[in-house]
Amino acid sequence: MLHFEPAFINRHFMSLEHQTIALLLDDLYNDVEVWYPYYRLKEAGVNVFIAGKDKVTYSSKYGYPAAADISLKNIKPSDIDGVIIPGGFCPDKLRTYPEVLKLVRAVDKKGGLVASICHGAWVVISAGLAKNRSMTCYSGIKDDVKNAGALYEDKPVVVFDNLVTSRKPADLPDFMTAILRFLSKKS
């Protein structure tokens, strides 16, 4: 079994202080798909914040609260390096907000990170960013991904340029490793 010393992790991922990531949120988010990336990015020195539409606090599928740091309408794509779209059922709400779709498109256009896990692929689809790109997602929405013109792959993580996608909570280690690698290359 490989064991990585903190020095290895620090040397490879801890130089990301100038990176800023918006974690998009609404009610019924998947707890672990928000908090695992949130704290892993914080550990790596990334400025990560939670962005929501109108409410100050959102409830997870299990009732755990998450306070929004900023309203979606106050985010300028030029001020962030990427977005993360967690799963649960919040993506079904997020994809109906024009400001979310506009933000995700703008981040993608500038080559910033667009990362989704589980049902988060719905936002990528609704933003019109799936066509001709390799992606993965929760198995229950793979037909949605395919019908949007994406090349579906059943893998823990799929990286296509600046798009990073994963299937489920068990894939979070691979998802976060791919995100941190992407951000490190942009440093």
In degrees rounded to 5, what are phi and psi of residue 86? -80, 175
Would you place residue 89 in the very low, low, confident or very high pLDDT band (cuts 50, 70, 90)?
very high
Domains and CATH numbers, the chain: 17-186 (3.40.50.880)
SS3 90: helix
Determine which one of 3, 18, 119, 137 is catalytic. 119
72 residue type, one letter: L
CA distance 51 to 48: 10
Return the percentage of the chain with pLDDT > 90, whole number.
87
Determine which one of 3, 12, 118, 137 is catalytic. 118
Q: Model confidence over 30-86: pLDDT tens digits?
A: 999 999 999 999 999 999 999 999 878 999 999 999 999 999 999 999 999 999 999
CA distance 162 to 108: 7
Q: What is the mean pLDDT of residues 9-35?
A: 85
| pTM, two decimal places | 0.92
* 3 pLDDT higher than 50: no
CA distance 51 to 87: 15
* 99 pLDDT higher than 70: yes
pLDDT of residue 115: 98
pLDDT of residue 12: 54
Sort strands 70-71 and 151-152 into parallel, antiparallel or unpaired.
Answer: unpaired
Sort strands 134-135 and 47-52 into parallel, antiparallel or unpaired.
Answer: unpaired
Active site residue 119: yes
Q: What is the mean pLDDT of residues 91-111?
A: 97
